[in-house]
Amino acid sequence: MDWKHSQGERTEDLVSVKLRSSEWLGGDDEWSVASRSCLRSEGFSSEVFKNRPVIGICNTWSELANCNAHLKPIAEAVKRGVWAAGGFPLEFGTMSLGEPLMKPTTMMFRNLLAMDVEETIRANPIDGVVLLTSCDKTTPAAIMGAASVDVPTIVVTGGPQRAGHFRGKPVGSGTDLWKYWDERRSGKMSDKEWSEFENSIVRSGGHCGVMGTASTMSSIVEALGMGLPGCAAIPAVDSARLVLAEESGRRIVQMVKEDLRISKVMTPKAFANAIRVDMAIGGSTNAIIHLVAMAGRLGYHLPLTAFDEFSRTTPVLANIRPNGTFMMEDFFYAGGVQAVMKNLGNLLHLDALAVTGRPIGEPLKQAAVHLPEVIRTRDNPIYPEGGTVALFGNLAPDGAIIKQSAASGILLKHRGRAVVFSSYAEYMARYNDMDLDVRPNDILVLQDTGPKGFPGMPEYGKLPLPLKLIKHGVTDMVRISDARMSGTGFGTVVLHVSPESRVGGPLAVVRTGDQIELDVPRRSLELLISDDELKSRLQAWKPPQQHYTRGYGKLYEERVLQAHEGCDFDFLVDKEKKEMIFSFGPVAEQAAPELAAGGIAPIESPRPAAVQTHTDD
């Protein structure tokens, strides 16, 4: 790969920087002696760290997080690389966040992990850091923490699991679980089949093997230039991942010498590239919250409208579940994120600086699409617009999100009667009731599941459909909430309604029987009642009691920001953030003009072909 030539040999280009670790290890006073003797007690002579960059290896390994449980050998590979390049590696553990086991929701703890990473780096003699992440929230959390300290940083993600197979068909954790769960509920799957399915969906270490949140965040890492080329899609169990980890260990040592800090890589151009790639892979809705939060740690305001602008000019190219047909393993063999970026061509800032120390466009010269059905071209996309779009209206004054590429085209323009549930518990108590007053064209509205409401904004937005409708063959309905949805999920699901109902957003005062209009082509979400009626309902609304009276839960509930602000804590982001200025069309200035040309005309704000008008008055 082209980025390799920037390693090792370029000593004449190295910026001479004072090592941060020398404040701990370089003096002749009693504190330096204490620091050095502590390392000696671990068996390290001072020769192995004297005047060498100390590289922290931040490991989110945990047996409580299956997606991260394979990271130990990856950490060892990173260490090999650090040693080989003349650095001194020190591995440290952080808390981990595993989606399947953690309650009430990992999102509630993303900021805690970010604080753990930030303060561990800040408090210790660390010159540069390698972040080992995998499951959904571990990647943004670790980046947020490192960004706040702004040391040289490289990310090694865990890679996707092997694709599962169930009775001859490929299945992925998440996406196929939701699908087969509806079959199970409608009585189409026997106990034996259901048990066999359980044993089929998760086949190895690594994160979910579809384009869920973890795969999306890994792809974003590569598009931001925060990981080495190819890092997102290499399967977790493939030896190529260990090789990439070793190369990352070598590279971080050089990054310290070059003073290549995270703020020099995660620039507005890098974020523009990340959002483009997010749209082109049909990324998880959760990525929007995480990108806004990561930008906030670097002092930037990233508005939801930017996602919408990029979505209008970026087609979905990756034919991966839940948007498409294939699995992450296929994505790897097709060429991965590098191939997607190559096909995006002049929609990207190819001159953006990456952790390689070189323009991100440079290795794309060697990238290729090996399976054209898996990674499409811009003139033959699987969806003409980017996956996730922002909606605004009197029901979501600060915005809401829908993943249009995983929704039913016929429902993207829909008016229907609201059927309201004031909590997830209420919905779960009633959704199997065959007497529930609900019809196929109704809109299910779930309240009080937002950042403060649940709290932690769980992945409850993709409500399982009412049993009585499933039995009549209904497979999708419009669902609206202030919750999130798993990146592996699908359906016509409006999420992240902001402000949330718990803080008195309009969602809190929707009543069963109201009419709601969703119009995705117009990006609008409206509650069809008069302004006076809405105002009077909001004036009569009373805030509920807080959930927590102590501990981290209390801190979270009191200080978490709303979804459109990235759900970070208000005291961890700059009050005076800089606006990110983007150019939403094809990019003029390029480091690799032959890629920019690409032979393919730029997309001109196409409209989704599948959109049809569908109303129920």
Q: Which of 70/415 has CB closer to ligand FES?
A: 70
Q: Which of 209/506 has CB closer to ligand FES?
A: 209
CB of 343 to ligand FES, least distance (A): 26
* 212 binds ligand FES, rule: CB under 6 A: yes
* 596 binds ligand FES, rule: CB under 6 A: no
Q: Provide DSSP, 499-513.
A: S-GGGT-GGGG--TT
Q: Which of 208/287 has CB closer to ligand FES?
A: 208
Task: Name which position in 116, 118, 136, 448 contacts ligand FES (CB under 6 A).
Answer: 136
CB of 100 to ligand FES, least distance (A): 5
Q: Which stretch binds ligand FES (CB under 6 A): 205-213, 303-311, 374-382, 401-409?
A: 205-213
Do 130 and 249 meet the contact criterion of CB atoms below 8 Å apart?
Answer: yes
Task: Name which position in 77, 78, 82, 135 contacts ligand FES (CB under 6 A).
Answer: 135
Q: Looking at residue 409, what DSSP letter applies?
A: G
What single letter denotes the amino acid at residue 115? Answer: M
Q: Considering only residues 421-480, where is the footprint of ligand FES by CB under 6 A? A: none
* 99 binds ligand FES, rule: CB under 6 A: yes
* 67 binds ligand FES, rule: CB under 6 A: yes
Half-sphere CA count of 311, side-chain side, radius 13 A: 26
Spatial distance between the Cα atoms of 20 and 54, rounded to a whole number of angstroms: 9
What single letter denotes the amino acid at residue 105? Answer: T
- Please name the helix (run of DSSP H) or strand (run of DSSP E) that holds residue 420, with its range, or none: strand 413-421
* 567 binds ligand FES, rule: CB under 6 A: no
Rounded to 10 degrees, the C-alpha dihedral 459/462/465/466 comes to: 50
Tokens of residue 204, six digits: 């190895």
* 55 binds ligand FES, rule: CB under 6 A: no
Q: Looking at residue 285, what DSSP letter applies?
A: T
Q: Evaluate the CA torsion angle 4, 229, 330, 176 in order and state its sign.
A: positive
Q: Which stretch binds ligand FES (CB under 6 A): 112-120, 208-216, 384-392, 499-507?
A: 208-216
Q: Considering only residues 375-414, where is the footprint of ligand FES by CB under 6 A? A: none
Spatial distance between the Cα atoms of 113 and 98, rounded to a whole number of angstroms: 12
Residue 396 forms beta bridges with which residues?
393
Do 158 and 207 meet the contact criterion of CB atoms below 8 Å apart?
Answer: yes
Task: Name which position in 214, 287, 470, 478 contacts ligand FES (CB under 6 A).
Answer: 214
Q: Checking DSSP bridges between strand 478-481 and strand 388-393, what pairing results, if any?
A: unpaired
Q: Which of 215/319 has CB closer to ligand FES?
A: 215
* 335 binds ligand FES, rule: CB under 6 A: no
CB of 182 to ligand FES, least distance (A): 19
Do 414 and 388 meet the contact criterion of CB atoms below 8 Å apart?
Answer: no
Residue 133 forms beta bridges with which residues?
157
* 208 binds ligand FES, rule: CB under 6 A: yes
Nearest CA-CA partner of 139 in 226, 242, 69, 237: 226
Q: Which stretch binds ligand FES (CB under 6 A): 145-153, 206-214, 362-370, 410-418?
A: 206-214
* 176 binds ligand FES, rule: CB under 6 A: no
Task: Name which position in 207, 312, 342, 564 contacts ligand FES (CB under 6 A).
Answer: 207
**Stretch 531-550: interaction string toward ligand FES, x if CB under 6 A:** --------------------
CA 151 to chain centroid, in Å, comes to 22
Number of residues engaging ligand FES in binding (CB under 6 A) = 10
Q: Which of 101/538 has CB closer to ligand FES?
A: 101
The backbone region for 58, taken as left when phi is positive above 0, alpha when psi lies in -120 to 50, beta otherwise, is beta
Q: Which of 67/75 has CB closer to ligand FES?
A: 67
Half-sphere CA count of 14, side-chain side, radius 13 A: 16
Catalog residues that contact ligand FES under the rule CB under 6 A. Answer: 67, 99-100, 135-136, 174, 207-208, 212, 214
